[in-house]
Structure 1
Amino acid sequence: MKRLTLLCAAWLLTCVVLAAPGVRNGGGEDVILQGFHWNSSRTTPQTWYEILKQMAPTIGRDGFTKIWLPPAWVDKSSWVDANSGTSGGGEGYFWHDFDKNSNYGSEPQLKQAVDALSSAGVQAVYDVVPNHMNDNLPGTQVRFLRRLKLWRTDCISPTPASSCDEGDPFDSGKADLNTSSPEVSSRMMQEFRNLRDNYGAKGLRFDFVRGYAPERVNLWMKDFGDQAFCVGELWKSPGEFPASDWRNKASWQDILKDWSDRSRCAVFDFALKERLQNGSLAEWRHGLSSNPDPAWRQIAVTFVDNHDTGYSPGQYGGQHHWPVPEDKRNIAYAYILLSPGIPTVYWPDMYDWGRGDLIRTLIKLRKDAGIRADSPIRFQSHYSGLVATINGSRQRLLIALDANLSMIPEGFTQALFADAERIRAWQTRSAPEDTTTTLHCDNANPGNGQAVYAVGSPVELGAWDPAHAISLRPTAPHRWSGAVVWPTQQAIKWKCVIRSLSNVNQAYWQKDPDNSLITGAGTEAVGSF
């Protein structure tokens, strides 16, 4: 039975029940370039739009299919925080007018840049900021005139829920628009259509989505284009929710999936970002993009850094609120570009800081293999670092990131060794479906401090290295068993091993000949001491 969704548009005072449709993720095959950084609005002598026009053919050749553009609206704000060593203003996040003559360039320059990008096969995704704006200018300079319940601060308690703001305040809330206001919501909807019809918008990136309801985003996107790409920035950890809110005890993944389900948009993978910052490589598997359920993987827009989290060229190095350490950056890009999710590359990493050649190679590997947002990924946890196999639509990839996978995996050919071999990738000529086989080792009698393992030719069985064999568990007297997931129609050689728990080099092997099987031909295989 199809899942049903209750969609309530508060300002229309209507609710309808709909069969849950798919997520607006652009089909899941995109590679996105964030086409700006924090200081892009301050480039000289060329404007940023002129740079984008000039770079458009290169961006297309490099394999990018979409470009995330900065907010196109005029912004005259300015600030410096000497304590944190940051500054800003003019980036579009404290806009005051929908006029397109911004610090990034003139309106004609914007149109020329988008036309050049479109000709290069790169679709424009505009950053939009429905939540807040600059309210410190005279009213005559602000298209949104101050009216009852237009600003969050006009929502004086008690008020009906349908007439007050839908989410968190931005900073103090003083400049926070009341998105539940019919005037605000309809005016935003009108401007999104304007970006689509007159400025080449093929999708929208929603800023600070914690400030307004995901159902509001869904309403806007149904009007903008129900199949158009959209992605939300939900940067809010579980602990930031009130103790009474279920999300306070939930995981990052649960919070992101809930927002996506209600908005029908993709979402930036802050679950992965948190693990990039705080976890070991093996823990990167806990990002949204590696969830076992493909419905979760397909909504994840992955990234290493962006204009908020990372450093930028220019004054004060940008915002750098949460940058990935330099020694992790290459490995992080290898992970997001060779695994599920929709990867986003940060402009300075691609075009300013000498990482472009590696990223181009990774994008080509991704496309050659046919890796999509929802592609299956399987982690080989019996190695150190991060080892995983990814099934693209055309090829199967094996990646080893800072890992101790020492032997050449059977059936794979070398595709990439980079970053002093901290990044290694292999590929196959095809991408077969996965199948599961249960391996049994009979007549096994391990002693104290020993256990039973299966070792063999594929990477799933350690590539004949007993140090990376998979452990089995006792399932019957003198029988030890374990399930293995691997590609179907593969010829496998394997053996049973009794191995010391304290010394991986102390191993007692099953005698010759090897056990043989063809994966998918049966569900079980037996070896014996």
Structure 2
Amino acid sequence: MKLPILICAAAAWLLASTVPAAPPSVRNGGGEDILLQGFHWNSSRNAPQKWYEVLTQMAPTIGQDGFTKIWLPPAWTDQSSWSDPTSGTSGGGEGYFWNDFDKNSQYGSDGQLKQAVAALTNAGVQAVYDVVPNHMNDKLAGKQVRFPRHLKLWRDDCATPSDCDQGDAFMSGSADLNTGNAEVSSRFMQEFRNLRDNYGAKGLRFDFVRGYAPERVDIWMKNFGDQAFCVGELWKSPNEYPATDWRSQASWQDALKDWSDRSHCAVFDFALKERLQNGNVAEWRHGLNGNPDAAWRQAAVTFVDNHDTGYSPGQYGGQHHWPLSDPMRDVAYTYILLSPGTPTVYWPDMYDWGRGDLIRTLIGLRKDAGIRADSPISFQSHYSGLVATTNGSRKRLLLALDSDLAKAPDGFTPVLLADGQRIRVWQASQAPSDTTTTLHCDNVQPNPGQAVYAVGSPLELGAWDPAHAIALQPSASNRWSGSVVWPTQQSVEWKCLIRNLSDINEVYWQADPNNRFVTGAANESVGRF
């Protein structure tokens, strides 16, 4: 059953990829990418093969699985090491405490890196390098990039660090570079061009962006390639900002969008990650990728877990600072892969932990529907769980996740049932656009303890299920009204309904016939008792 979906998806995506897209307002790769995080926390300790050898071997599979870009680990040499005798843990060499721009690292040699990128490029997968401009290991004399300790090149060179550094301190700040210094900034600019020109970089993933100014990232990207892909890791909750900063009283979404607007890069959707961790499924709509404004959705790079937040195969299970519980992972992948934003799949979920078949099917559905980073999405909050419709460029997908939605409305065909029916997906033809219709119920006089509803054929009106009808409000004498946003050119049949507030099964229907109209052709529709 899954195979035809994948074949159709591949054909449709190949056709669509020949049509040039308009330049995005944010450097998100054009909006059609699916990103694979091509490593985990313990990949630098992979044996017997070096990690770059694994990537070379896996490149054809990665391309066939539908990924268009791969997020590679930091390429710079990292000779750091640490151990904690109390806990018996140790580590180092992952690339985040690098000491030199040399490309011979714990992940493999310079030559093995070039071989891996060439294999990925041949498979149609573009390389996005993880870069760490905020901090480095400055404790290896003679084995490091030389940033002399003078002229305010380091954060702790300054009497008042905030006067010369453009962001938060990393750890104590002792290894924290002042990226605002012209010498430091130009060295990174030169190295980013080197990654582009000699190591196949088509984009950059910026680590710890809370440590330097988003405007600095914009300067680097203009030099690297103004339309190249870039994404920033802004893992900082509102309560971590000073009380005098407006972001301390704002939402996760607000802070992320502000960084994206100033850097002109995409940003990891930590607003969605926070809801994945702390909210119920219905609240996932509050991620950056579920924002009503398309400009916010196209800035979102969505993910379930990564090398920092999630578990990793191997030593100590990796970092797992903020992992999503295992029972929610399939549901979460269904949401990010079938909704707006640029989705990121974590390597262990795809290739180590048995989720590959589901993820391949979801990628196929996404490409077949033509879902983009800025695709419209609508949520139906009168159902339990999460019910959403994503309108792709070719098809609409209806998702019901942990939901009591009994059945899909007419016109939708089931395409996926998984995880004991916690995941249900249907598809239908593309909707041209949305329109708003005001529904009125006249001659209504509900008794105390009763309320007036509209119920009907579309999903937005409960698909004729009184339990999921939408509530109307009194608007005039004996008239109750409510507005509904739905796709245009949709034939609608509906009725007024009086429902007992304490007994959902006690309902009183408007007499036949049904009220009928076509969305977009009328701004109002009236039913009468």
TM-score (norm 2): 0.94
User: Which residue of the partner structure matches residue 157 of structure 2?
Assistant: 154
User: Which residue of the partner structure matches residue 102 of structure 1?
Assistant: 105
| Alignment partner of 1:288 is 2:288 | yes
Q: 1:479 to 1:412 in 2, by over 3 A?
A: same
CA distance in 1, matches of 2:330, 2:439: 37
Q: Which amino acid aligns with 2:424?
A: R
Displacement of 1:520: 1.0
Q: 1:158 to 1:227 in 2, by over 3 A?
A: closer
Map 1:103-252 to 2 at 5 A: 103-157=106-160, 161=163, 164-252=164-252
Q: Which amino acid aligns with 2:397?
A: L
Q: Deviations over 1:186-244 (max 9, x none)?
A: 00000000000000000000000000000000000010001111000000001011111
User: Which residue of the partner structure matches residue 440 of structure 2?
Assistant: 440
CA contact (8 A) 1:85 1:316 kept: no
CA contact (8 A) 1:86 1:317 kept: no
Map 1:454-493 to 2 at 5 A: 454-493=454-493
CA distance in 2, matches of 1:528, 1:375: 37
User: Which residue of the partner structure matches residue 3 of structure 1?
Assistant: none
Q: Deviations over 1:335-388 (max 9, x none)?
A: 111111110000000000000111111111111111111111111000000001
SS of alignment partner, residue 133 of structure 2: coil
User: Which residue of the partner structure matches residue 271 of structure 2?
Assistant: 271
| Alignment partner of 1:429 is 2:432 | no
CA distance in 2, matches of 1:526, 1:83: 72
Q: Deviations over 1:141-176 (max 9, x none)?
A: 4433433312111122399x4xx1111010000111
CA distance in 1, matches of 2:161, 2:64: 56
Q: 1:262 to 1:85 in 2, by over 3 A?
A: farther
SS of alignment partner, residue 71 of structure 2: strand
CA distance in 2, matches of 1:109, 1:88: 23
User: Which residue of the partner structure matches residue 76 of structure 1?
Assistant: 79
- List runs of 5+ in structure 1 lacking aligned partners: 1-19
User: Which residue of the partner structure matches residue 354 of structure 1?
Assistant: 354
| Alignment partner of 1:24 is 2:21 | no
User: Which residue of the partner structure matches residue 338 of structure 1?
Assistant: 338
TM-score (norm 1): 0.94
User: Which residue of the partner structure matches residue 410 of structure 1?
Assistant: 410
User: Which residue of the partner structure matches residue 6 of structure 2?
Assistant: none
CA contact (8 A) 1:87 1:319 kept: no
Q: Deviations over 1:30-79 (max 9, x none)?
A: 11000000000001111100000111111111110000000000001112
Displacement of 1:85: 7.1
Identity of aligned residues (%): 77
User: Which residue of the partner structure matches residue 51 of structure 2?
Assistant: 48
SS of alignment partner, residue 406 of structure 2: coil
Q: Deviations over 1:259-313 (max 9, x none)?
A: 1111000000001100000001111111111111111111000000000000000
User: Which residue of the partner structure matches residue 395 of structure 2?
Assistant: 395
CA distance in 2, matches of 1:503, 1:191: 68
Q: Which amino acid aligns with 1:334?
A: T
Q: 1:86 to 1:261 in 2, by over 3 A?
A: farther
CA distance in 1, matches of 2:407, 2:75: 51
CA contact (8 A) 2:134 2:177 kept: yes
Displacement of 1:136: 1.5
Q: Which amino acid aligns with 1:285?
A: R
CA distance in 1, matches of 2:504, 2:89: 51
Q: Which amino acid aligns with 2:341?
A: G
CA distance in 1, matches of 2:39, 2:24: 32
CA distance in 2, matches of 1:228, 1:516: 49
CA distance in 2, matches of 1:27, 1:85: 46
- List runs of 5+ in structure 2 lacking aligned partners: 1-22
SS of alignment partner, residue 428 of structure 1: strand
Displacement of 1:429: 2.7
CA distance in 1, matches of 2:180, 2:382: 51
CA distance in 1, matches of 2:48, 2:39: 16
User: Which residue of the partner structure matches residue 16 of structure 1?
Assistant: none
CA contact (8 A) 1:390 1:396 kept: yes
CA distance in 1, matches of 2:280, 2:24: 36
User: Which residue of the partner structure matches residue 10 of structure 2?
Assistant: none
Which among 57, 62, 67 is matched to residue 64 of structure 1? Answer: 67
SS of alignment partner, residue 480 of structure 1: strand
User: Which residue of the partner structure matches residue 11 of structure 2?
Assistant: none
CA contact (8 A) 2:440 2:480 kept: yes
CA distance in 2, matches of 1:88, 1:35: 20
Which among 39, 42, 48 is matched to residue 42 of structure 2? Answer: 39
CA contact (8 A) 1:86 1:318 kept: no
Q: Deviations over 1:473-528 (max 9, x none)?
A: 11111111111111111111111100011121110001111111111111111111
SS of alignment partner, residue 390 of structure 1: strand
CA distance in 2, matches of 1:257, 1:140: 39
Tell me the matched-pair count: 507
Q: Which amino acid aligns with 2:128?
A: V
User: Which residue of the partner structure matches residue 324 of structure 1?
Assistant: 324
CA distance in 2, matches of 1:86, 1:339: 39
CA contact (8 A) 1:80 1:86 kept: yes
User: Which residue of the partner structure matches residue 512 of structure 2?
Assistant: 512
Q: 1:316 to 1:187 in 2, by over 3 A?
A: same
SS of alignment partner, residue 193 of structure 1: helix
Displacement of 1:87: 3.8
Q: Which amino acid aligns with 1:35?
A: G
Q: 1:455 to 1:175 in 2, by over 3 A?
A: same
CA contact (8 A) 1:94 1:132 kept: yes
Q: Deviations over 1:455-480 (max 9, x none)?
A: 11111110110000011111111111
User: Which residue of the partner structure matches residue 371 of structure 2?
Assistant: 371
